[in-house]
Structure 1
Amino acid sequence: MRRFHGFALALLLILVSAAPTAATVATIATTTPLENHEEQSVNAAVQAALKMAVAGAAAMGLRWFQISHALVLDDAVAVQIVATDEDPEADTGEAAPGPESGAGADGRAPAEGKI
């Protein structure tokens, strides 16, 4: 019986010490008004929406982000990011996969960065 207690204690210590840490992940969406559909206006609106989303992520303590979606609507631009407090590349050393295949509709990888 004493052996069993020692084994159970050792197993419990192994399980507790090997517990993974949970990363905080948030999806943040922002919109900004769009004056017209000229390229300069769209770029300015996307940058403003992205700046607001990243500021929200930073306020939550999330230091890594990836652009998930960006939409140009009739009178606004919408941007959605996925933010986390851990660098997804730090665990495996490999590039983090995108929302689906890792590439957008234009074949380019999604934008990502650190705050």
Structure 2
Amino acid sequence: MAGTCSMLCLIVITLFIPPLGVFLISGCGVDFWINVLLTILGYFPGHIHAFYLEYVYYDRRNRDPLTRTAQRPAPGVYSTRIQNGGHHAHSPTHAPADRGYGTM
């Protein structure tokens, strides 16, 4: 329920100020500045970009970690936080190397 509430709050914030919604999910990166530029050029393009980033963020957030790392990056998204759905990127190839032979 907490995820649904935060998603609805983010949508309401994005309706009024699209760059603020992007800032909350990606931080102060390339996606944020692209959204600021699009919002200055036209309020509607800023909304389209912000809602696209939020869709990618919440879609990847709800996926299984193994399928999230195996999928291709979303086009037009430059933030790794959005690409990973807010989760830290874990490489499945490094996980077995961390444990030695015979350790539990």
- TM-score (structure 1 length as normaliser): 0.27
Return the structure number with greater relative CO, CA threshold 8 A, min gap 6: 1
- TM-score (structure 2 length as normaliser): 0.29
Select the structure that is richer in strand. 1
